[in-house]
């Protein structure tokens, strides 16, 4: 690999090590989170309560040395609570814009599905264009603006489904499962002393690995990761196959193709390679497609899962050599 990719690979390895000081296990979710960050994309993190969803995102923000804000989504949250509002200044006899928490680099949208659709949609322009418009005036956000949204997959009372346009703006859906026995035992042992995950993060034991100003340069290094033409065609055929599957009502759009390409390059760099392999692509298909594909109602009632559809698609399309 060249020097830029070597540096990126080293940064990714060091970031993994720093996150591991706080988050026990969860290797795949950490890697997927890094892929989203280093491709300048957004991620939807899903898991039952207590599996360190918010802790993972907070740790990543500390590790990357970026400014971050956290919004707790609730049913009474309004769009202005996110993007800001104009307040009349009596002294100057004019309206002044007061920025909301969206004006940051790293935004944690905690339990995003607890707010109604009109509040969720306040993030649409911010996520796609990295801008917000208030009272016909457009304000720029940080070019490194990233949203990590969390949601609980099992508790649906008092929640609102994310609109398809909102879900499509998330590059990946990251599933966080409960830890295995050894990891949970490790957590229990750490809770007996001063090494509890939250304590480690709060006392500043997590080092900053890279400055925000260096992120664009490191991301540019991904352009040097080789993707062969036959692998690019394989990637495109996988996404297009979702639009023709018998069980699928709405397949993945072109944004999924872009996401799979970017993620595959980042995954290669994460594993110290300057070229993409079929395994890079195949391993990322599910987190890229899971939240984008809409099943036909009759198949959804029967309990058909996206995982099964992804498996069928991958079996039907020949793997390039």
For tokens 């295995």, name the residue.
Answer: 180
CATH of 1-189, one of 3.40.640.10, 2.30.30.790, 1.10.3720.10, 3.40.50.300: 3.40.50.300
- Residue 125 burial (CB < 10 Å; 0-12/13-18/19+)? middle
Instruction: Give domain limits for the chain.
Output: 1-189, 225-321
Q: In the chain, where does DSSP find H-type helix? A: 3-20, 27-38, 53-63, 79-83, 117-120, 124-129, 164-168, 181-191, 197-202, 215-220, 229-241, 254-270, 278-289, 297-301, 306-316
pLDDT score recorded for residue 288: 94
For 150-204, how does the pLDDT look when each residue is reduced to its tens digit (9 = 90+)? 888 766 666 788 888 888 899 999 998 888 888 888 888 888 877 888 888 877 7
* CB-based contact 151:108 (threshold 8 Å): no
What confidence tens digit (pLDDT) does each residue in 46-77 have? 888 888 888 888 888 888 888 889 999 989 99
Cβ atoms of residues 99 and 145 within 8 Å: no
- Token couple for 244: 């023709």
pLDDT of amino acid 297:
85
Given a cut of 90, whether residue 278 has pLDDT beyond it is: yes
Residue 52 CA to residue 215 CA, distance in Å, equals 25
The more confident residue out of 193 and 314 is 314
pLDDT score, position 237: 94
CATH classification of 225-321, choosing from 3.90.550.10, 1.10.8.80, 3.40.50.720, 2.30.110.10? 1.10.8.80
Lowest-pLDDT choice from 15-29, 43-57, 198-212: 198-212
Spatial distance between the Cα atoms of 226 and 314, rounded to a whole number of angstroms: 22
- Tell me the per-residue pLDDT of 238-264, one tens digit each, with 9 for 90 and over: 999 999 888 888 888 899 999 999 999
pTM to 2 decimal places:
0.89
pLDDT higher than 60, residue 1: no
Minimal CA–CA distance to 316: which of 246, 229, 227?
246
Q: How far is CA 260 from CA 170, 171, 294, in A?
A: 12, 8, 18
Q: Rounded to whole angstroms, how far apart are CA atoms 56 and 59?
A: 5
The DSSP 8-state label assigned to residue 284 in this structure reads H
């Amino acid at each position: 690999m060249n020097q830029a990719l070597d540096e990126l690979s080293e940064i990714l390895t060091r970031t993994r090590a720093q996150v591991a000081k706080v988050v026990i296990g969860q290797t795949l979710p950490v890697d997927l989170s890094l892929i989203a960050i280093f491709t300048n994309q957004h991620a939807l993190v899903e898991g039952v309560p207590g599996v360190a969803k918010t802790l993972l995102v907070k740790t990543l923000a500390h590790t990357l040395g970026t400014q971050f804000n956290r919004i707790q989504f609730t049913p009474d949250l309004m769009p202005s609570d996110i993007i800001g509002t104009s307040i009349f200044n009596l002294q100057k006899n004019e309206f002044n814009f007061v920025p909301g928490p969206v004006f940051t680099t790293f935004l944690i949208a905690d339990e995003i599905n607890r707010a109604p659709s009109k509040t969720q949609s306040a993030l649409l322009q911010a996520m796609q264009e990295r801008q917000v418009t208030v009272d016909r005036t457009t304000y720029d956000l940080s070019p490194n603006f990233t949203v990590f949204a969390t949601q609980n997959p099992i508790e649906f009372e008092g929640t609102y489904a994310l609109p398809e346009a909102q879900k499509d703006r998330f590059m990946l859906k990251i599933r966080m499962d409960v830890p295995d026995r050894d990891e949970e035992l490790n957590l229990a042992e750490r809770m007996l002393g001063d090494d509890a995950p939250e304590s480690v993060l709060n006392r500043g034991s997590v080092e900053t690995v890279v400055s925000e100003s260096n992120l664009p340069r490191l991301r540019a290094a991904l352009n040097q990761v080789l993707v062969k033409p036959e692998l690019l065609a394989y990637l495109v055929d996988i996404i297009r196959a979702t639009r023709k599957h018998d069980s699928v009502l709405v397949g993945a759009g072109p944004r999924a193709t872009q996401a799979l390409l970017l993620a595959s390059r980042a995954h290669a760099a994460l594993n110290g390679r300057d070229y993409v392999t079929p395994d890079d692509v195949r391993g990322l298909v599910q987190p890229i497609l899971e939240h984008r594909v809409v099943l036909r109602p009759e198949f959804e009632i029967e309990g058909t899962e996206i995982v099964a559809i992804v498996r069928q698609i991958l079996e039907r399309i020949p793997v390039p050599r």
